[in-house]
Amino acid sequence: MSRPLFILLAISWIAQSVFAQQTFNLSQLQWHLTNSYGNVSIPASFPSQIHLDLYAAGIIGDPLYGMGDFDQLWVQRANWTYSTILSGLDTPLPSSVWLVFEGLDTFTHIELCGQEVANTDNQFRQFFFEVSSIILQCQSELTLSLNFGSASAIVLDIAKTGDGKLIILTFTGKIYMRKEQSDFGWDWSPAFAPAGPWKQAFLIQLSTAAPLYIHNALVDIYREGQMNNLPPDQTKPFVFNASLDFFGDLPTGSSLYLELKDSSNKTITETQLDGISHNNETITGHTTIDSEMVELWWPNGFGSQPLYYATITIRDVNLDPFAVVQRRVGFRTVVLNLTPISNDQLALGIAPGSNWHFEVNGHEIYAKGSNMVPPDVFWARVNETKIRQLFNSVVMANQNMLRVWSSGAYLPNFAYDIADEMGILLWSEFEFSDAEYPTDPSYLANYEAEAYYNIRRVGHHPSLALWAGGNELEAIELAFFFNPTNPGTVLKQYQLVFEELLIKCVYANVKSISYIPSSTYNGYLSLDFDSIRPQLPRYNNRSSPDALYADTDAYSDNAATAFDINSYPVGRFADEFGIISMPSLESWQEVIPEDQLSFDSAQVLHRNRHYPFGASGSDDDLSRAGIAVMTDGVKLWYPRPYKSDPVANFSAWAWSTQVYQADYYAHQLAFYRRGSGMRERQLGVLYWQLEDLWVAPTWSSIEANGRHKVLYYSAKDIYEPVIIFPYLNDTTQKLEVWVTSDQWESISGVAQFSWFDLAGNELLLPGDSQSGEAGTNTSSFETSFNVGPINSTRVLTYNNISALFQTTGTTSISAVSINNAQPWRGSSQQSQYTHTYWFHPTSLANCDLLDPGLNLTRGQLQADSGDNSPNKGTASQQSVTFTVTAQKAVAAWVWLDYSSSQVQGLFDNNGFWLNKAESINVTFMVYNDWTGDGSWINSVVVRSLYDNLVD
Ligand SMILES: *[C@@H]1O[C@H](CO)[C@@H](O)[C@H](O)[C@H]1NC(C)=O
Ligand SMILES: *[C@@H]1O[C@H](CO)[C@@H](O)[C@H](O)[C@H]1NC(C)=O
Ligand SMILES: *[C@@H]1O[C@H](CO)[C@@H](O)[C@H](O)[C@H]1NC(C)=O
Ligand SMILES: *[C@@H]1O[C@H](CO)[C@@H](O)[C@H](O)[C@H]1NC(C)=O
Ligand SMILES: *[C@@H]1O[C@H](CO)[C@@H](O)[C@H](O)[C@H]1NC(C)=O
């Protein structure tokens, strides 16, 4: 006679819908965390990761403070157990009970009532297990325990060869686990190797009324006849393909129904799906949707983002619905076009080779964006607010694409949802990076299950732009080992995983999304959907020396060539480039003691993980070499800060490294954008890297606490739709000014040029007798221009700018403004574009900057209202406008700053230049006002590069 059965509090069961099975969220239970040493036993959160619970319980300090990553190594070397008791009322035993885990990080031994349920070994998979018989037989309390083994210890055991050295980039064991690879250190990341139940978990009860549970659902929307990687026929209707993954029993004769509603709940269509197929795990069907029935979804800057609610029900033979799933979808096509350059394109002057660009709804788009790394060391605490603020910063900076770098983690659904709303294309990757990965059958099976799950999980999001096999595999990992005559195992492993397995997973599940094996990719020689290797890779098989096939990923630390356009790579698309800078003083103050605020302190050296290529010595020596990359740039190009107060000096230097970084990126971004009108037909740039997950010298444009670096604003400026920019060829001293547009209409307008001295006096425009293009002896110069769709055009040339300055005796006069490019579309003048860029032919280090007499006027808090509010969806929806005036002279790199302990938010403009007597309004959008009453406004200050010279 068995004792009464325990199951959960009936009152806590939440019905997902009228017909869904009962679903209980395990985060509602009391959880407990213990370790293998037996010295920790504390309450725990769920979902969670161990460090977060230890920190909450006061066992450890803030992991991100000080030397936390080093001092807390003991945490990742222990085994930890999360446990809870499934207790409650006696109720009749459900017919079938399952556990569903949305994410377990990573090596987990699961027990229920002391019985083994399963062992898992993949952070990126969903797992589900039937536990009915364990519950039935349980003679004690229903204890659920999740034991997390030490990932680094486990893989070192597997690898045997591992170096065991954490806190550096090269922890060799990481390839043996399906776990976020940057958890083991990267050149912008510490190595916490967190563990724990990082996503939600559920207990599911099936019954005769609800015989199955839909645990994942794919919706793939594409144009009829569309094939992966190929531009579809935009005149065809859309196909809506739904494929639901379930456990439990599918009654015979089941059918699928779709109800599609728009965002105002108006029904667009209600229909039975055709072509139903099913097995014991999946049911699939499709229908067509005429283009006229729906509005197209566009990326940021190209149109709106209409979204639709798709409700898919499974119905029994009597057409009664018994299971339902809802997905919010959008209608668009997005293709990474790698087809050969056509004769028509060649006739336009485009270099032979292959295309390498994105097309949305049949339009080429210029991709402007950045690379996203994990937004926190601990994913379990990344919430919607965090992602909404981050993505808000992305769209406010004129970006339309993020490359979600591998090897962090696949983004959660809510991040794709926010990207859908904001129009951010997400170039997504499988989690493999810069290494060769094991290919034993058990590993391949694990990769395959992971890829299937994630492809199906996010397939319905219109923001999903691409699947790439991994990071820097072909151009870096493979190129390094590639030997055409003896390809060896490295090539074979690469082919197996990235050219056969993962592509199969994508092509088998979705038709709407393109696949490339590696973020850097020379494209394919042929595409054969019936082959086990559908893309026959080009590798280094070039048809001609001047052909271009690939995207670029290139870094240089050389300060001397930082602004030399000859040093920038020429390709079809730039997916990575950059240079490091320091976080701001305020960020440093939050994480290290005051006595560590210097470029050479132990803790700053410890946090810098950028070790330049070719550097040698101890870790500290390597770190010093990395830090010198920043300071060398400052010394060469800007007035060198000297302040007797050591903290003020540290702050001025840190900020100056940000100016150097911003200046460098602006030049390189503008170079790539101009390429849209050059023979390379360059159609996209994603800078490295959007944001930080801790306070350290890195490539980021947004610091870990949400403060925006100077780079953020410079990139925003160069990402304006229509820009004017000067390009100086260091070799020839030829200066060319170009206008670049990413709009689909031709743009015409007027470009103006004026030269000033540093006091702001307008100078006679230096003429060039050789080119005669620029005119002579006038104080300013105008030229009208017309720039084609996604194109660039030259508007001014000086054949030798340095000779010119010598002959006109103006070498020390070093500021020129090129302003008011005011193009418009046709004659309607509906869209006007203005862009200004300040150019100086000599390094600012060699200029005698004058005191600009900056004046700051502070406005009042204003409530933003309506859908056009730029910080829609963020906490406060308030803004304040400041007015900055340069009263006395030209101001270089004007910078408004605020106290991040008082307020969090974003300026609409910063890091700009002002002419003498020029005023500018700058609006700060408030995300969080910690002062509660706007008193943070008084802490806003302004400075410029001139302040480097003032003690
Ligand atoms: C962790 O668990 C594994 C497997 O159960 C065991 O071999 C290892 O000794 C444990 N480590 C510690 C530190 O307890
Ligand atoms: C649409 O309907 C759902 C319930 O079916 C409701 O929660 C939601 O508020 C409605 N939306 C609009 C815009 O009416
Ligand atoms: C479905 O059937 C296959 C083969 O018959 C079996 O291996 C698999 O475990 C079944 N899956 C489920 C969820 O029952
Ligand atoms: C989201 O996370 C942030 C930290 O990034 C935290 O301050 C905030 O309270 C969280 N918001 C919610 C709604 O949990
Ligand atoms: C700079 O000028 C040299 C010499 O004319 C030329 O070969 C080179 O292509 C130019 N660089 C760029 C980026 O246009």
Residues 833 and 865 placed together within one structural domain of the fold? no
- For atom 6 of ligand 2, the residue with the nearest CA is 265
Domain assignment present for 878: yes
Residues near ligand 4 (Cβ within 6 A)? 383, 385-386
Q: How far away, in angstroms, is 196 Cα from ligand 2 center?
A: 36
Residues 172 and 45 placed together within one structural domain of the fold? yes
Q: Would the CB of 731 count as within 6 Å of ligand 5?
A: yes
Query: Which tokens hold the place of 329?
Result: 């979808």
Domain count, the chain: 3
Q: How far away, in angstroms, is 280 Cα from ligand 3 center?
A: 6
Domain assignment present for 77: yes
Q: Which ligand is nearest to the CA of 389?
A: 4
Residue 523: C-alpha distances to residues 213, 340, 535, 550, 923 (Å):
41, 10, 8, 7, 44
Domain assignment present for 91: yes
Q: Would the CB of 187 count as within 6 Å of ligand 3?
A: no
Beta strands, E only, 281-382? 282-289, 308-315, 321-329, 334-337, 357-360, 363-365, 367-372
Per-residue confidence (pLDDT) for residue 778, from 0 to 100: 61
Residues 15 and 127 placed together within one structural domain of the fold? yes
DSSP assignment of 409-466: -PPPHHHHHHHHHHT-EEEEE-S-BSS-----HHHHHHHHHHHHHHHHHHTT-TTEEE
CATH of residue 924's domain is 2.60.40.10
CA distance 772 to 778: 13
Residues 39 and 134 placed together within one structural domain of the fold? yes
Residues 834 and 909 placed together within one structural domain of the fold? no
Domain assignment present for 833: yes
Per-residue confidence (pLDDT) for residue 584, from 0 to 100: 98
- For atom 4 of ligand 1, the residue with the nearest CA is 149
Residue type, position 768, single letter: D
Pocket test for ligand 3, best of 132, 204, 244, 280 (most atoms within 8 A of CB): 280
Atom of ligand 2 nearest to the CA of 264: 13
The gap between the terminal CA atoms of the chain, to the nearest Å, is: 86
* SS3 label, residue 382: coil
- For atom 11 of ligand 5, the residue with the nearest CA is 566
- For atom 9 of ligand 4, the residue with the nearest CA is 385
Q: How far away, in angstroms, is 307 Cα from ligand 4 center?
A: 26
CA distance 568 to 733: 16
Residues 734 and 759 placed together within one structural domain of the fold? yes
Domain assignment present for 406: no
Q: Nearest 10 degrees: CA dihedral of 759, 764, 765, 766?
A: -100
Q: Which ligand is nearest to the CA of 157?
A: 1
**What is the chain's alpha carbon radius of gyration, rounded to the nearest angstrom?**
29
Atom of ligand 5 nearest to the CA of 729: 1
- For atom 13 of ligand 4, the residue with the nearest CA is 385
Q: Which ligand is nearest to the CA of 248?
A: 3
Domain assignment present for 364: no
Residues 807 and 869 placed together within one structural domain of the fold? no
Q: What is the pLDDT of residues 293-316, one digit of tens each?
A: 999 999 999 999 999 999 999 999
Q: How far away, in angstroms, is 566 Cα from ligand 5 center?
A: 7
Q: Would the CB of 264 count as within 6 Å of ligand 2?
A: yes
Query: Which tokens hold the place of 277?
Result: 């197929």
Question: Strand pairing partners for 289?
Answer: 238
Cβ–Cβ under 8 Å, residues 612 and 629: yes
Q: How far away, in angstroms, is 476 Cα from ligand 2 center?
A: 50
Q: Which ligand is nearest to the CA of 36?
A: 1
Q: Which ligand is nearest to the CA of 383?
A: 4
The whole-number mean pLDDT for each consecutive block of 10 residues of the chain, a chain of 951 residues, reads: 36 39 88 92 98 98 96 94 77 77 98 97 98 90 96 79 56 90 95 97 90 97 98 98 97 97 97 98 98 98 97 96 96 98 98 98 98 98 96 97 97 98 98 92 97 98 98 84 69 93 98 97 96 95 93 96 97 98 98 98 97 92 97 97 96 98 98 98 98 98 97 97 93 92 90 84 63 54 88 90 62 45 46 85 88 97 63 66 97 96 95 95 94 95 97 93
Q: Residues near 72 by Cβ (< 8 Å), separated by ≥ 6? A: 51, 60, 63, 192
Q: Would the CB of 265 count as within 6 Å of ligand 2?
A: yes
Q: How far away, in angstroms, is 167 Cα from ligand 1 center?
A: 22
Residue 423: C-alpha distances to residues 412, 464, 513, 788, 938 (Å):
17, 10, 17, 24, 35
Q: How far away, in angstroms, is 660 Cα from ligand 3 center?
A: 59
Q: Would the CB of 729 count as within 6 Å of ligand 5?
A: yes
Residues 159 and 62 placed together within one structural domain of the fold? yes
Q: Are strands 684-687 and 367-372 parallel, antiparallel or unpaired?
A: parallel
Per-residue confidence (pLDDT) for residue 800, from 0 to 100: 84
Residues 903 and 773 placed together within one structural domain of the fold? no
Helix (H) or strand (E) holding 886: strand 878-886
Of the listed 102, 364, 431, 472, which one is catalytic?
Answer: 472
Query: Which tokens hold the place of 814?
Result: 């070093």
Per-residue confidence (pLDDT) for residue 478, from 0 to 100: 80
Q: Would the CB of 448 count as within 6 Å of ligand 3?
A: no
Domain assignment present for 907: yes
Q: How far away, in angstroms, is 168 Cα from ligand 4 center?
A: 30
Residues 111 and 36 placed together within one structural domain of the fold? yes
Give the sign of the dihedral formed by CA 543, CA 544, CA 545, CA 548: negative
Cβ–Cβ under 8 Å, residues 737 and 798: no
Q: Which ligand is nearest to the CA of 45?
A: 4
Residues near ligand 1 (Cβ within 6 A)? 36, 78-79, 149
Q: How far away, in angstroms, is 705 Cα from ligand 4 center?
A: 12
Domain assignment present for 634: no
Cβ–Cβ under 8 Å, residues 681 and 790: no
CB 137: neighbour CB atoms within 10 A? 10
Per-residue confidence (pLDDT) for residue 173, from 0 to 100: 87
Nearest-CA neighbor of 609 among 185, 313, 111?
Answer: 185
472 has catalytic annotation = yes
- The last residue of one of the domains, among 842, 869, 889, is 842
CA distance 246 to 165: 42
- For atom 11 of ligand 4, the residue with the nearest CA is 385
- The last residue of one of the domains, among 205, 225, 252, is 205
- For atom 13 of ligand 1, the residue with the nearest CA is 78
Pocket test for ligand 1, best of 39, 50, 79, 157 (most atoms within 8 A of CB): 79
Per-residue confidence (pLDDT) for residue 549, from 0 to 100: 97
Cβ–Cβ under 8 Å, residues 709 and 692: no
Residues 160 and 52 placed together within one structural domain of the fold? yes
CATH of residue 153's domain is 2.60.120.260
Cβ–Cβ under 8 Å, residues 430 and 436: no
- For atom 4 of ligand 2, the residue with the nearest CA is 265
Pocket test for ligand 5, best of 564, 673, 682, 732 (most atoms within 8 A of CB): 732
Per-residue confidence (pLDDT) for residue 4, from 0 to 100: 33
Per-residue confidence (pLDDT) for residue 810, from 0 to 100: 43
Per-residue confidence (pLDDT) for residue 757, from 0 to 100: 83
Q: Would the CB of 565 count as within 6 Å of ligand 5?
A: yes
Residues 920 and 808 placed together within one structural domain of the fold? no
CA distance 774 to 915: 22
- The last residue of one of the domains, among 842, 874, 890, is 842
Query: Which tokens hold the place of 50?
Result: 């161990």
Containing structural domain, residue 834: 720-842
Nearest-CA neighbor of 99 among 133, 127, 139?
Answer: 127
- For atom 14 of ligand 1, the residue with the nearest CA is 36
Q: Angle at the Cα of 376 (from 372 to 377), degrees rounded to 5?
A: 115
Q: How far away, in angstroms, is 383 Cα from ligand 4 center?
A: 6
